[in-house]
Chains A and B, each alone.
Chain A
Amino acid sequence: MSIIEVKDLVKTYKIIQKEDGLKGYIKNLIKPKYNEITAVKGINFNINEGELVGYIGENGAGKSTTIKMLTGLLSPTSGKVIVNGIVPNEKRIENNKNIGAVFGQKTQLWWDLPVIESFRLIKKMYKIPENEYRKNLKKFTEILDLEDLLEKQVKNLSLGQKMRCEIAATFLHNPKIVYLDEPTIGLDVFVKENIRKFIKDINKEKKTTVILTTHDLKDIEDVCDRIILLDKGKIIYDGEKQKFKDTYGKYVIAEFIINSKNRTISNLDNATILEENEKSLKVKFMHNETTIVKLMNEISNYCIIEDIHIKEAELEDILKEIYKGAHKC
Protein backbone atom coordinates (compact mmCIF):
# COMPACT_ATOMS: atom_id res chain seq x y z
CA MET A 1 0.00 0.00 0.00
CA SER A 2 1.18 3.49 -0.74
CA ILE A 3 2.49 5.53 2.15
CA ILE A 4 2.09 8.74 0.16
CA GLU A 5 -0.80 9.35 -2.19
CA VAL A 6 -1.03 12.49 -4.26
CA LYS A 7 -4.01 13.01 -6.52
CA ASP A 8 -4.74 15.93 -8.88
CA LEU A 9 -2.78 18.23 -6.59
CA VAL A 10 -2.96 21.91 -7.47
CA LYS A 11 -1.54 24.95 -5.72
CA THR A 12 -2.28 28.46 -6.85
CA TYR A 13 -0.70 31.48 -5.26
CA LYS A 14 -2.06 34.96 -5.32
CA ILE A 15 0.71 37.44 -5.57
CA ILE A 16 0.57 41.18 -5.67
CA GLN A 17 1.32 42.55 -9.09
CA LYS A 18 4.17 45.00 -8.67
CA GLU A 19 4.07 48.32 -10.39
CA ASP A 20 7.04 50.53 -11.01
CA GLY A 21 7.83 53.80 -9.36
CA LEU A 22 6.74 55.35 -6.11
CA LYS A 23 3.32 56.04 -7.61
CA GLY A 24 2.91 52.38 -8.40
CA TYR A 25 3.91 51.37 -4.89
CA ILE A 26 1.41 53.73 -3.35
CA LYS A 27 -1.28 52.51 -5.72
CA ASN A 28 -0.48 48.97 -4.63
CA LEU A 29 -0.71 49.91 -1.00
CA ILE A 30 -4.23 51.23 -1.41
CA LYS A 31 -5.66 48.88 -3.98
CA PRO A 32 -3.40 45.94 -4.73
CA LYS A 33 -3.81 44.04 -7.97
CA TYR A 34 -3.36 40.32 -7.69
CA ASN A 35 -1.85 37.91 -10.12
CA GLU A 36 -2.53 34.22 -9.87
CA ILE A 37 0.36 31.86 -10.28
CA THR A 38 -0.17 28.14 -10.40
CA ALA A 39 2.94 26.54 -8.98
CA VAL A 40 1.68 22.96 -9.03
CA LYS A 41 -0.65 22.02 -11.86
CA GLY A 42 -2.48 18.84 -11.02
CA ILE A 43 0.11 16.22 -10.22
CA ASN A 44 -0.38 12.56 -9.34
CA PHE A 45 1.92 10.02 -7.77
CA ASN A 46 2.05 7.25 -5.20
CA ILE A 47 5.05 6.37 -3.12
CA ASN A 48 5.42 3.05 -1.35
CA GLU A 49 6.96 2.45 2.02
CA GLY A 50 10.73 2.25 1.91
CA GLU A 51 11.16 3.95 -1.46
CA LEU A 52 14.02 6.36 -2.05
CA VAL A 53 12.64 8.98 -4.38
CA GLY A 54 14.51 11.83 -6.01
CA TYR A 55 12.16 14.73 -6.53
CA ILE A 56 13.88 16.95 -9.03
CA GLY A 57 13.31 19.89 -11.28
CA GLU A 58 14.62 23.33 -11.97
CA ASN A 59 14.18 26.25 -9.61
CA GLY A 60 10.56 27.28 -9.63
CA ALA A 61 9.34 23.95 -10.99
CA GLY A 62 7.13 23.51 -7.93
CA LYS A 63 9.25 21.13 -5.88
CA SER A 64 9.22 23.10 -2.63
CA THR A 65 5.52 23.83 -2.99
CA THR A 66 4.79 20.11 -3.31
CA ILE A 67 6.96 19.25 -0.31
CA LYS A 68 5.25 21.96 1.71
CA MET A 69 1.87 20.46 0.88
CA LEU A 70 3.07 16.94 1.71
CA THR A 71 4.22 18.17 5.11
CA GLY A 72 1.07 20.19 5.74
CA LEU A 73 2.88 23.52 5.81
CA LEU A 74 0.69 24.66 2.95
CA SER A 75 -2.87 23.72 2.19
CA PRO A 76 -3.59 22.61 -1.38
CA THR A 77 -5.81 24.70 -3.64
CA SER A 78 -7.38 21.49 -4.85
CA GLY A 79 -6.62 17.81 -5.01
CA LYS A 80 -5.73 15.25 -2.41
CA VAL A 81 -2.70 14.42 -0.31
CA ILE A 82 -2.71 11.42 2.02
CA VAL A 83 0.42 10.63 3.98
CA ASN A 84 0.46 7.47 6.05
CA GLY A 85 -3.35 7.51 6.13
CA ILE A 86 -3.54 11.13 7.31
CA VAL A 87 -4.42 14.32 5.46
CA PRO A 88 -1.44 16.44 6.59
CA ASN A 89 -3.23 19.70 6.01
CA GLU A 90 -5.99 18.75 8.42
CA LYS A 91 -4.01 16.90 11.06
CA ARG A 92 -0.67 18.57 10.84
CA ILE A 93 0.58 17.78 14.33
CA GLU A 94 -0.50 14.15 14.03
CA ASN A 95 1.33 13.94 10.71
CA ASN A 96 4.44 15.58 12.15
CA LYS A 97 4.93 12.65 14.51
CA ASN A 98 5.58 10.36 11.54
CA ILE A 99 7.85 12.58 9.53
CA GLY A 100 11.23 14.21 9.63
CA ALA A 101 12.43 17.05 7.47
CA VAL A 102 15.59 18.91 6.59
CA PHE A 103 15.12 22.21 4.80
CA GLY A 104 18.33 23.48 3.27
CA GLN A 105 20.53 25.19 5.73
CA LYS A 106 17.90 25.99 8.31
CA THR A 107 18.73 24.24 11.51
CA GLN A 108 16.27 22.64 13.86
CA LEU A 109 18.92 22.52 16.55
CA TRP A 110 19.20 25.00 19.42
CA TRP A 111 21.85 27.39 18.22
CA ASP A 112 23.56 28.30 21.49
CA LEU A 113 23.35 24.91 23.17
CA PRO A 114 25.46 21.76 22.90
CA VAL A 115 24.14 19.37 20.26
CA ILE A 116 23.20 16.73 22.79
CA GLU A 117 20.76 19.15 24.49
CA SER A 118 18.86 19.52 21.22
CA PHE A 119 18.72 15.75 20.91
CA ARG A 120 17.29 15.51 24.43
CA LEU A 121 14.63 18.08 23.60
CA ILE A 122 13.75 16.18 20.44
CA LYS A 123 13.51 13.00 22.49
CA LYS A 124 11.05 14.68 24.77
CA MET A 125 9.10 16.30 21.93
CA TYR A 126 8.55 13.04 20.05
CA LYS A 127 8.28 10.95 23.23
CA ILE A 128 11.06 8.65 22.04
CA PRO A 129 11.41 5.71 24.44
CA GLU A 130 14.69 5.76 26.37
CA ASN A 131 16.10 2.52 24.93
CA GLU A 132 15.19 3.46 21.37
CA TYR A 133 16.82 6.86 21.86
CA ARG A 134 20.03 5.33 23.17
CA LYS A 135 20.14 2.77 20.39
CA ASN A 136 19.67 5.39 17.68
CA LEU A 137 22.07 7.85 19.26
CA LYS A 138 24.76 5.20 19.46
CA LYS A 139 24.29 4.09 15.88
CA PHE A 140 24.03 7.60 14.42
CA THR A 141 27.08 8.74 16.37
CA GLU A 142 29.00 5.88 14.84
CA ILE A 143 27.91 6.30 11.22
CA LEU A 144 27.98 10.08 11.15
CA ASP A 145 31.04 10.34 13.39
CA LEU A 146 29.42 12.65 15.93
CA GLU A 147 31.39 11.56 19.00
CA ASP A 148 33.37 14.80 19.35
CA LEU A 149 30.51 17.06 18.31
CA LEU A 150 27.81 16.19 20.82
CA GLU A 151 29.13 18.43 23.58
CA LYS A 152 29.90 21.36 21.28
CA GLN A 153 27.62 24.34 20.84
CA VAL A 154 25.82 24.28 17.50
CA LYS A 155 27.03 27.77 16.58
CA ASN A 156 30.63 26.57 16.84
CA LEU A 157 30.19 23.74 14.34
CA SER A 158 31.28 23.90 10.73
CA LEU A 159 28.66 23.57 8.01
CA GLY A 160 29.43 19.90 7.47
CA GLN A 161 29.42 19.10 11.17
CA LYS A 162 26.14 20.93 11.60
CA MET A 163 24.49 19.05 8.74
CA ARG A 164 25.60 15.70 10.14
CA CYS A 165 24.02 16.60 13.47
CA GLU A 166 20.96 17.90 11.66
CA ILE A 167 20.51 14.62 9.79
CA ALA A 168 20.89 12.66 13.02
CA ALA A 169 18.28 14.89 14.70
CA THR A 170 15.88 14.29 11.82
CA PHE A 171 16.04 10.49 12.05
CA LEU A 172 16.16 10.24 15.84
CA HIS A 173 12.47 9.49 16.33
CA ASN A 174 12.37 6.79 13.65
CA PRO A 175 10.20 8.78 11.25
CA LYS A 176 8.34 6.76 8.64
CA ILE A 177 8.92 9.41 6.01
CA VAL A 178 11.77 11.88 5.70
CA TYR A 179 11.81 14.90 3.40
CA LEU A 180 15.27 16.14 2.58
CA ASP A 181 15.45 19.43 0.75
CA GLU A 182 19.01 20.17 -0.39
CA PRO A 183 20.66 18.24 2.44
CA THR A 184 24.12 18.38 0.90
CA ILE A 185 24.24 21.95 -0.32
CA GLY A 186 27.62 23.56 0.29
CA LEU A 187 29.19 20.46 1.81
CA ASP A 188 32.50 18.86 0.89
CA VAL A 189 32.66 15.53 -0.90
CA PHE A 190 33.43 13.48 2.20
CA VAL A 191 30.52 14.82 4.21
CA LYS A 192 28.23 14.37 1.20
CA GLU A 193 29.24 10.74 0.90
CA ASN A 194 28.86 10.23 4.61
CA ILE A 195 25.33 11.60 4.56
CA ARG A 196 24.34 9.56 1.51
CA LYS A 197 25.63 6.40 3.15
CA PHE A 198 23.69 7.21 6.29
CA ILE A 199 20.44 7.68 4.38
CA LYS A 200 20.91 4.40 2.54
CA ASP A 201 21.80 2.50 5.72
CA ILE A 202 18.78 3.75 7.63
CA ASN A 203 16.50 3.13 4.68
CA LYS A 204 17.69 -0.45 4.44
CA GLU A 205 17.32 -1.09 8.13
CA LYS A 206 14.11 0.77 8.98
CA LYS A 207 12.37 0.98 5.63
CA THR A 208 12.25 4.76 6.01
CA THR A 209 10.70 6.39 2.97
CA VAL A 210 12.88 9.22 1.74
CA ILE A 211 11.93 12.05 -0.60
CA LEU A 212 15.06 13.86 -1.69
CA THR A 213 15.09 17.22 -3.39
CA THR A 214 18.48 18.34 -4.56
CA HIS A 215 20.39 20.10 -7.25
CA ASP A 216 23.35 17.83 -6.72
CA LEU A 217 22.43 14.96 -8.98
CA LYS A 218 25.20 12.84 -7.50
CA ASP A 219 22.91 12.61 -4.46
CA ILE A 220 20.17 11.15 -6.64
CA GLU A 221 22.58 8.96 -8.58
CA ASP A 222 23.87 7.56 -5.32
CA VAL A 223 20.80 7.31 -3.15
CA CYS A 224 17.60 7.10 -5.17
CA ASP A 225 15.93 4.27 -7.06
CA ARG A 226 13.17 6.36 -8.46
CA ILE A 227 12.96 9.77 -10.02
CA ILE A 228 10.05 12.15 -10.21
CA LEU A 229 10.92 14.96 -12.56
CA LEU A 230 8.95 18.14 -12.37
CA ASP A 231 8.83 20.89 -14.94
CA LYS A 232 6.73 24.02 -14.67
CA GLY A 233 4.38 22.48 -12.15
CA LYS A 234 3.85 19.22 -14.02
CA ILE A 235 5.42 15.81 -13.70
CA ILE A 236 7.29 14.97 -16.89
CA TYR A 237 8.86 11.74 -15.74
CA ASP A 238 8.08 9.33 -12.94
CA GLY A 239 9.81 5.99 -12.79
CA GLU A 240 12.97 4.02 -12.15
CA LYS A 241 16.21 5.91 -12.28
CA GLN A 242 17.90 3.34 -14.52
CA LYS A 243 15.04 3.34 -16.98
CA PHE A 244 15.19 7.09 -17.10
CA LYS A 245 18.82 6.94 -18.05
CA ASP A 246 18.19 4.21 -20.63
CA THR A 247 15.35 6.11 -22.24
CA TYR A 248 16.78 9.55 -22.36
CA GLY A 249 20.47 8.91 -22.11
CA LYS A 250 21.21 6.72 -25.10
CA TYR A 251 23.92 9.04 -26.21
CA VAL A 252 27.64 8.98 -25.60
CA ILE A 253 30.05 11.82 -25.22
CA ALA A 254 33.49 11.22 -26.72
CA GLU A 255 36.48 13.45 -26.39
CA PHE A 256 39.14 13.09 -29.07
CA ILE A 257 42.61 14.34 -28.20
CA ILE A 258 43.93 15.54 -31.53
CA ASN A 259 47.03 16.89 -33.13
CA SER A 260 48.01 18.95 -36.19
CA LYS A 261 44.56 19.91 -37.23
CA ASN A 262 44.63 21.59 -40.63
CA ARG A 263 41.14 23.06 -40.75
CA THR A 264 38.04 23.52 -38.61
CA ILE A 265 35.69 20.60 -38.42
CA SER A 266 32.34 22.13 -39.01
CA ASN A 267 30.21 19.08 -39.49
CA LEU A 268 30.19 15.41 -38.63
CA ASP A 269 27.71 12.78 -39.76
CA ASN A 270 25.15 11.96 -37.06
CA ALA A 271 27.08 13.63 -34.27
CA THR A 272 27.05 17.00 -32.58
CA ILE A 273 30.21 18.91 -31.86
CA LEU A 274 30.14 20.20 -28.33
CA GLU A 275 33.58 21.74 -28.00
CA GLU A 276 36.43 22.21 -30.38
CA ASN A 277 39.93 23.60 -30.05
CA GLU A 278 43.52 22.92 -31.15
CA LYS A 279 44.02 19.97 -28.85
CA SER A 280 40.64 18.41 -28.36
CA LEU A 281 37.27 17.79 -29.89
CA LYS A 282 34.20 16.87 -27.88
CA VAL A 283 31.30 15.25 -29.67
CA LYS A 284 28.00 13.75 -28.71
CA PHE A 285 26.26 10.96 -30.60
CA MET A 286 23.50 8.41 -30.25
CA HIS A 287 24.34 4.72 -30.02
CA ASN A 288 21.98 3.77 -32.79
CA GLU A 289 22.98 6.47 -35.23
CA THR A 290 26.69 6.11 -35.57
CA THR A 291 29.67 4.36 -34.03
CA ILE A 292 32.95 5.47 -32.61
CA VAL A 293 34.83 3.82 -35.48
CA LYS A 294 32.86 5.73 -38.12
CA LEU A 295 33.54 8.95 -36.27
CA MET A 296 37.26 8.17 -36.01
CA ASN A 297 37.46 7.64 -39.74
CA GLU A 298 35.74 10.89 -40.40
CA ILE A 299 37.78 12.92 -37.95
CA SER A 300 41.07 11.48 -39.14
CA ASN A 301 40.48 13.24 -42.44
CA TYR A 302 41.10 16.47 -40.62
CA CYS A 303 43.75 15.59 -38.08
CA ILE A 304 45.66 12.92 -36.20
CA ILE A 305 43.83 11.34 -33.28
CA GLU A 306 46.08 10.71 -30.30
CA ASP A 307 43.65 9.50 -27.71
CA ILE A 308 39.95 9.01 -27.04
CA HIS A 309 37.90 9.36 -23.83
CA ILE A 310 34.39 8.00 -23.87
CA LYS A 311 31.80 8.93 -21.28
CA GLU A 312 28.32 7.47 -20.86
CA ALA A 313 25.64 10.08 -20.26
CA GLU A 314 25.25 11.00 -16.62
CA LEU A 315 22.03 12.05 -15.01
CA GLU A 316 23.15 15.64 -15.02
CA ASP A 317 23.81 15.66 -18.76
CA ILE A 318 20.45 14.08 -19.46
CA LEU A 319 18.62 16.59 -17.34
CA LYS A 320 20.38 19.49 -18.99
CA GLU A 321 19.16 18.12 -22.31
CA ILE A 322 15.63 17.79 -21.05
CA TYR A 323 15.53 21.27 -19.54
CA LYS A 324 16.75 22.74 -22.80
CA GLY A 325 13.79 21.27 -24.64
CA ALA A 326 11.28 20.02 -22.13
CA HIS A 327 8.76 19.20 -24.87
CA LYS A 328 10.82 16.17 -25.95
CA CYS A 329 9.91 14.30 -22.82
Chain B
Amino acid sequence: MTKIIHNISLYFSFLKASLKEMLIYRLDCIVGMISQIVTQLVEIIFIWIVFQNTDNLAGWNFMQILLLYGVTLISIGISDFCFDALYDIGPKYIREGEFDKILLRPVHPLISIIGSSKEFTALGYFGLGLFLTITMLIKLSIPITIILVLKIIFFSIIGAAIIGAINTIFSIASFWTYRSNEVIWSFYRIYTFAQYPIDIYNKFIKVLITVILPFAFVAYYPSMNYLGMNSNMIYISPIIMIVLWIIAIKLWNLALNKYRSTGT
Protein backbone atom coordinates (compact mmCIF):
# COMPACT_ATOMS: atom_id res chain seq x y z
CA MET B 1 0.00 0.00 0.00
CA THR B 2 2.76 2.50 0.89
CA LYS B 3 4.31 1.55 -2.43
CA ILE B 4 1.14 2.56 -4.28
CA ILE B 5 0.93 5.83 -2.35
CA HIS B 6 4.58 6.56 -3.10
CA ASN B 7 3.98 5.88 -6.78
CA ILE B 8 0.90 8.09 -6.96
CA SER B 9 2.58 10.91 -5.11
CA LEU B 10 5.57 10.60 -7.46
CA TYR B 11 3.19 10.75 -10.39
CA PHE B 12 1.85 14.08 -9.18
CA SER B 13 5.38 15.38 -8.62
CA PHE B 14 6.29 14.43 -12.19
CA LEU B 15 3.08 15.97 -13.50
CA LYS B 16 3.79 19.18 -11.60
CA ALA B 17 7.25 19.32 -13.13
CA SER B 18 5.79 18.78 -16.61
CA LEU B 19 3.30 21.56 -16.07
CA LYS B 20 6.04 23.92 -15.02
CA GLU B 21 7.87 22.97 -18.20
CA MET B 22 4.73 23.52 -20.25
CA LEU B 23 3.88 26.86 -18.72
CA ILE B 24 7.15 28.25 -20.02
CA TYR B 25 5.56 28.10 -23.44
CA ARG B 26 2.59 30.32 -22.60
CA LEU B 27 1.59 31.17 -26.14
CA ASP B 28 1.53 27.48 -27.13
CA CYS B 29 -0.86 26.81 -24.26
CA ILE B 30 -3.26 29.55 -25.24
CA VAL B 31 -3.26 28.70 -28.93
CA GLY B 32 -3.74 25.00 -28.15
CA MET B 33 -6.63 25.70 -25.82
CA ILE B 34 -8.42 27.95 -28.30
CA SER B 35 -8.04 25.48 -31.15
CA GLN B 36 -9.46 22.69 -28.99
CA ILE B 37 -12.49 24.79 -28.13
CA VAL B 38 -13.03 25.69 -31.80
CA THR B 39 -12.89 22.01 -32.86
CA GLN B 40 -15.54 21.15 -30.30
CA LEU B 41 -17.74 24.09 -31.26
CA VAL B 42 -17.82 22.76 -34.82
CA GLU B 43 -19.12 19.44 -33.50
CA ILE B 44 -21.74 21.20 -31.42
CA ILE B 45 -22.94 23.13 -34.47
CA PHE B 46 -23.25 19.79 -36.23
CA ILE B 47 -25.45 18.45 -33.43
CA TRP B 48 -27.55 21.61 -33.64
CA ILE B 49 -28.04 21.04 -37.37
CA VAL B 50 -29.18 17.48 -36.69
CA PHE B 51 -31.76 18.83 -34.26
CA GLN B 52 -33.12 21.19 -36.90
CA ASN B 53 -34.52 18.06 -38.50
CA THR B 54 -35.70 16.14 -35.46
CA ASP B 55 -36.63 17.03 -31.91
CA ASN B 56 -35.16 14.01 -30.23
CA LEU B 57 -32.56 11.27 -30.58
CA ALA B 58 -33.71 8.04 -28.93
CA GLY B 59 -35.77 10.13 -26.54
CA TRP B 60 -33.04 12.68 -25.73
CA ASN B 61 -33.66 16.32 -26.59
CA PHE B 62 -31.07 18.86 -27.77
CA MET B 63 -30.22 20.14 -24.30
CA GLN B 64 -29.88 16.67 -22.85
CA ILE B 65 -27.54 15.71 -25.67
CA LEU B 66 -25.47 18.83 -24.99
CA LEU B 67 -25.28 17.89 -21.33
CA LEU B 68 -24.01 14.45 -22.30
CA TYR B 69 -21.55 16.16 -24.61
CA GLY B 70 -20.40 18.44 -21.81
CA VAL B 71 -19.97 15.61 -19.30
CA THR B 72 -17.89 13.71 -21.87
CA LEU B 73 -15.68 16.74 -22.47
CA ILE B 74 -15.00 17.14 -18.75
CA SER B 75 -13.68 13.55 -18.54
CA ILE B 76 -11.73 13.89 -21.78
CA GLY B 77 -10.20 17.10 -20.50
CA ILE B 78 -9.06 15.47 -17.27
CA SER B 79 -7.84 12.37 -19.08
CA ASP B 80 -5.84 14.30 -21.68
CA PHE B 81 -4.38 16.42 -18.92
CA CYS B 82 -3.31 13.42 -16.84
CA PHE B 83 -2.44 10.72 -19.38
CA ASP B 84 -1.57 12.51 -22.60
CA ALA B 85 2.05 11.29 -22.68
CA LEU B 86 0.84 7.75 -23.45
CA TYR B 87 0.84 9.01 -27.04
CA ASP B 88 4.56 9.73 -26.77
CA ILE B 89 5.72 6.22 -25.86
CA GLY B 90 6.30 5.07 -29.43
CA PRO B 91 7.37 8.23 -31.24
CA LYS B 92 9.27 9.86 -28.41
CA TYR B 93 10.38 7.42 -25.74
CA ILE B 94 11.14 4.31 -27.75
CA ARG B 95 12.17 5.83 -31.04
CA GLU B 96 14.46 8.41 -29.49
CA GLY B 97 15.85 6.02 -26.90
CA GLU B 98 14.39 7.94 -23.96
CA PHE B 99 12.78 4.76 -22.74
CA ASP B 100 15.95 3.31 -21.22
CA LYS B 101 16.28 6.34 -19.00
CA ILE B 102 12.81 5.72 -17.62
CA LEU B 103 13.43 2.00 -17.14
CA LEU B 104 16.40 2.87 -14.92
CA ARG B 105 14.28 4.74 -12.42
CA PRO B 106 13.17 3.07 -9.19
CA VAL B 107 9.55 3.50 -10.17
CA HIS B 108 7.20 1.81 -12.64
CA PRO B 109 7.82 3.24 -16.13
CA LEU B 110 4.12 4.02 -16.61
CA ILE B 111 4.26 6.45 -13.69
CA SER B 112 7.18 8.25 -15.31
CA ILE B 113 5.49 8.31 -18.69
CA ILE B 114 2.04 9.52 -17.74
CA GLY B 115 3.72 11.91 -15.32
CA SER B 116 5.40 13.58 -18.27
CA SER B 117 2.05 14.61 -19.76
CA LYS B 118 2.11 18.19 -20.87
CA GLU B 119 -1.35 18.61 -22.29
CA PHE B 120 -2.14 21.84 -20.53
CA THR B 121 -4.41 22.77 -23.41
CA ALA B 122 -6.79 19.99 -22.31
CA LEU B 123 -8.14 22.63 -19.98
CA GLY B 124 -9.91 23.94 -23.09
CA TYR B 125 -11.98 20.74 -23.26
CA PHE B 126 -12.47 20.79 -19.55
CA GLY B 127 -13.65 24.41 -19.47
CA LEU B 128 -16.03 24.00 -22.38
CA GLY B 129 -17.36 20.76 -20.88
CA LEU B 130 -17.95 22.40 -17.53
CA PHE B 131 -19.68 25.35 -19.17
CA LEU B 132 -21.98 23.09 -21.21
CA THR B 133 -22.78 20.87 -18.24
CA ILE B 134 -23.68 23.72 -15.88
CA THR B 135 -25.62 25.67 -18.49
CA MET B 136 -27.67 22.64 -19.51
CA LEU B 137 -28.40 21.63 -15.92
CA ILE B 138 -29.80 25.13 -15.35
CA LYS B 139 -31.73 25.19 -18.62
CA LEU B 140 -33.22 21.80 -17.88
CA SER B 141 -34.14 23.09 -14.40
CA ILE B 142 -32.31 20.29 -12.64
CA PRO B 143 -31.52 21.41 -9.08
CA ILE B 144 -27.74 21.62 -8.57
CA THR B 145 -27.44 20.03 -5.15
CA ILE B 146 -24.21 19.31 -3.30
CA ILE B 147 -24.82 15.60 -3.90
CA LEU B 148 -25.06 16.21 -7.65
CA VAL B 149 -21.88 18.32 -7.67
CA LEU B 150 -19.97 15.64 -5.74
CA LYS B 151 -21.34 12.96 -8.06
CA ILE B 152 -20.24 14.89 -11.13
CA ILE B 153 -16.75 15.44 -9.70
CA PHE B 154 -16.35 11.80 -8.65
CA PHE B 155 -17.69 10.19 -11.81
CA SER B 156 -15.86 12.62 -14.10
CA ILE B 157 -12.60 11.48 -12.50
CA ILE B 158 -13.65 7.83 -12.79
CA GLY B 159 -14.54 8.48 -16.45
CA ALA B 160 -11.15 10.05 -17.09
CA ALA B 161 -9.47 7.05 -15.47
CA ILE B 162 -11.47 4.69 -17.73
CA ILE B 163 -10.26 6.54 -20.82
CA GLY B 164 -6.72 6.49 -19.38
CA ALA B 165 -6.83 2.72 -18.87
CA ILE B 166 -8.13 2.08 -22.39
CA ASN B 167 -5.41 4.29 -23.85
CA THR B 168 -2.82 2.51 -21.71
CA ILE B 169 -3.91 -0.83 -23.16
CA PHE B 170 -3.51 0.44 -26.71
CA SER B 171 -0.23 2.16 -25.90
CA ILE B 172 1.20 -1.37 -25.80
CA ALA B 173 1.43 -1.05 -29.58
CA SER B 174 4.39 1.26 -28.86
CA PHE B 175 6.59 -1.75 -28.25
CA TRP B 176 6.12 -2.85 -31.85
CA THR B 177 5.55 0.35 -33.79
CA TYR B 178 6.81 3.90 -33.44
CA ARG B 179 3.48 5.12 -34.76
CA SER B 180 1.65 3.89 -31.68
CA ASN B 181 0.16 7.34 -31.17
CA GLU B 182 -1.97 6.71 -34.23
CA VAL B 183 -3.06 3.32 -32.92
CA ILE B 184 -4.17 4.81 -29.62
CA TRP B 185 -5.85 7.69 -31.37
CA SER B 186 -7.89 5.48 -33.67
CA PHE B 187 -9.27 3.44 -30.76
CA TYR B 188 -9.70 6.50 -28.63
CA ARG B 189 -11.96 7.99 -31.31
CA ILE B 190 -14.49 5.28 -30.53
CA TYR B 191 -15.51 7.37 -27.54
CA THR B 192 -17.32 9.60 -30.09
CA PHE B 193 -20.02 6.92 -30.17
CA ALA B 194 -20.53 7.37 -26.46
CA GLN B 195 -21.27 11.06 -26.90
CA TYR B 196 -24.74 10.13 -28.11
CA PRO B 197 -27.48 7.96 -26.55
CA ILE B 198 -26.52 4.36 -27.19
CA ASP B 199 -30.06 3.42 -28.17
CA ILE B 200 -29.51 4.99 -31.58
CA TYR B 201 -26.92 2.32 -32.40
CA ASN B 202 -27.16 -1.27 -33.56
CA LYS B 203 -26.23 -4.18 -31.37
CA PHE B 204 -22.60 -4.34 -32.45
CA ILE B 205 -21.80 -0.76 -31.49
CA LYS B 206 -23.75 -1.14 -28.24
CA VAL B 207 -21.65 -4.12 -27.24
CA LEU B 208 -18.51 -2.34 -28.40
CA ILE B 209 -18.96 0.70 -26.19
CA THR B 210 -20.42 -1.00 -23.15
CA VAL B 211 -18.45 -4.22 -22.95
CA ILE B 212 -15.39 -4.24 -25.20
CA LEU B 213 -14.30 -0.63 -24.82
CA PRO B 214 -16.67 0.57 -22.11
CA PHE B 215 -16.72 4.24 -23.08
CA ALA B 216 -20.43 4.33 -22.23
CA PHE B 217 -19.42 4.37 -18.56
CA VAL B 218 -17.41 7.55 -19.03
CA ALA B 219 -20.32 9.91 -19.56
CA TYR B 220 -23.40 8.19 -20.96
CA TYR B 221 -24.54 6.30 -17.87
CA PRO B 222 -23.47 9.11 -15.52
CA SER B 223 -25.41 11.65 -17.60
CA MET B 224 -28.52 9.46 -17.48
CA ASN B 225 -28.22 9.44 -13.72
CA TYR B 226 -27.72 13.23 -13.48
CA LEU B 227 -30.77 13.70 -15.73
CA GLY B 228 -32.85 11.51 -13.44
CA MET B 229 -33.33 8.78 -16.03
CA ASN B 230 -33.22 6.04 -13.43
CA SER B 231 -29.94 4.52 -14.44
CA ASN B 232 -27.99 2.62 -11.84
CA MET B 233 -25.34 1.55 -14.31
CA ILE B 234 -23.31 4.55 -13.14
CA TYR B 235 -22.43 2.71 -9.94
CA ILE B 236 -20.65 0.00 -11.87
CA SER B 237 -18.19 2.47 -13.40
CA PRO B 238 -15.71 2.49 -10.49
CA ILE B 239 -15.51 -1.31 -10.71
CA ILE B 240 -15.02 -1.13 -14.47
CA MET B 241 -12.31 1.46 -13.97
CA ILE B 242 -10.41 -0.72 -11.50
CA VAL B 243 -10.75 -3.86 -13.62
CA LEU B 244 -9.57 -1.99 -16.72
CA TRP B 245 -6.50 -0.65 -14.94
CA ILE B 246 -5.60 -4.09 -13.61
CA ILE B 247 -5.86 -5.49 -17.14
CA ALA B 248 -3.95 -2.53 -18.57
CA ILE B 249 -1.05 -2.82 -16.14
CA LYS B 250 -0.81 -6.61 -16.46
CA LEU B 251 -0.78 -6.46 -20.27
CA TRP B 252 1.64 -3.56 -20.25
CA ASN B 253 4.08 -5.43 -18.01
CA LEU B 254 3.86 -8.49 -20.22
CA ALA B 255 4.61 -6.42 -23.30
CA LEU B 256 7.47 -4.69 -21.50
CA ASN B 257 9.06 -8.03 -20.62
CA LYS B 258 8.76 -9.18 -24.19
CA TYR B 259 10.30 -5.93 -25.35
CA ARG B 260 13.23 -6.31 -22.96
CA SER B 261 14.02 -9.75 -24.28
CA THR B 262 14.25 -8.62 -27.89
CA GLY B 263 15.84 -5.27 -27.29
CA THR B 264 14.44 -3.81 -30.45
A residues near B, CB below 8 A? Answer: 11, 13-15, 65, 68, 71-75, 89, 92-94, 96-97, 99, 101, 103, 106, 108, 110-113, 117, 121, 124-127
Contact with B263, one of A13, A99, A112, A126 (Cβ below 8 angstroms): A13
User: Which chain A residues lie closer than 8 Å to B231 at the CB level?
Assistant: none
Q: Are A96 and B264 in contact (CB under 8 A)?
A: no
A126→B261 CA distance, assembly (Å): 26
Q: Name the 5 nearest CB pairs between A and B, nearest first.
A: A112-B21, A96-B106, A97-B106, A75-B261, A74-B263
Does residue B97 face the partner (Cβ distance < 8 Å to A)?
yes
Q: Which residues of B contact A94 (CB under 8 A)?
A: 106
B103 engages A73 (CB within 8 Å):
yes
Max chain A Cβ within 10 angstroms of own Cβ: one of B21, B104, B107: B104
> Which residues of chain A come closer than 8 Å to B106, judged between CB atoms?
93-94, 96-97, 125-126
B176 to chain A, nearest CB (A): 13
Residue from A14, A15, A125 in contact with B105 in the complex, judged by beta carbons closer than 8 Å:
A125
CB nearest to B256 among chain A residues: A92
* Complex: A65 Cα to B24 Cα, angstroms: 38
Query: Known interface pairs A14-B262, A125-B10. Does A117 touch B108 (Cβ–Cβ under 8 Å)?
Result: no
With A and B bound together, what is the CA distance between A113 and B103 in angstroms? 21
Kindly provide the distance from the CB of B41 to the nearest chain A CB, expressed in whole angstroms. Answer: 31
Q: Which residue on chain A has the smallest CB distance to residue B115? A: A121
Interface residues on B, range: 20 to 34
On whether the beta carbons of B260 and A89 are closer than 8 Å, the reply is yes
Q: Determine the distance from Cα of A108 to Cα of B98 in the docked complex, in whole angstroms.
A: 9
Distance (whole angstroms) from the CB of A210 to the closest CB of chain B: 16
Number of A-B contacts (CB under 8 A): 66
Q: Identify whether the interface residues of B are mostly helix, strand, loop, or mixed.
A: helix
B199 within 8 A of A: no
Using CB atoms, name the residue of chain B closest to A90.
B257
Q: How far is the CA of A93 from the CA of B111 in the complex (A)?
A: 12
> B192: CB under 8 A from chain A?
no
Interface string of B6-36 (1 = CB under 8 A from A): 1001100110010011001000000000000
Residue in A14, A15, A106, A121 whose beta carbon sits within 8 Å of that of B17 in the complex: A121
Q: How far is the CA of A108 from the CA of B17 in the complex (A)?
A: 13
Would B21 and A96 count as touching, CB distance under 8 A?
no
CA–CA, A126 and B24, complex, Å:
27
Asked if A103 and B107 sit within 8 Å, CB to CB, the answer is: no
Write the B168-202 contact mask toward A (1 if CB under 8 angstroms, else 0): 00000000000000000000000000000000000
Residue of B nearest to A103 (CB): B100
Within 8 A of A (CB), among B217-264: 257, 260-264
Residue in contact with B97 in the complex, picked from A96, A106, A126, CB distance below 8 Å: A106
